[in-house]
Amino acid sequence: MEKMIEKSPVFQVRAYTKEELAVLYNPTQCVTVALQTLARWIRTNRLLMDELNAIGYNKFRRGFTPKEVATIVKYLGEP
């Protein structure tokens, strides 16, 4: 019998809500804590914050644009 190997879905750079991306990075945390964790990672990474600000990041928006997601992945790696 051939053993089935489960493949995890391939991460795509696209627009994500903040909740979606936070849970992808922190799948074992509840949504609120996952959001807080991702926000802290972004806020404390000066190079990431500078690059996000340069492309028009707005921390009050409910989602990330594909360009912002690509920038986050550049600094934090794929979730």
Question: Looking at per-residue confidence, does 7 or 57 come out higher?
Answer: 57
Q: Taking residues 38-65, what's their average pLDDT? A: 97
Long-range contacts of 42-50 (CB under 8 A, 24+ apart): 42/72, 45/75, 45/76, 47/75, 48/72, 48/74, 48/75, 48/76
Model confidence pLDDT, tens digit, residues 33-50: 999 999 999 999 999 999
Q: Taking residues 63-72, what's their average pLDDT? A: 98
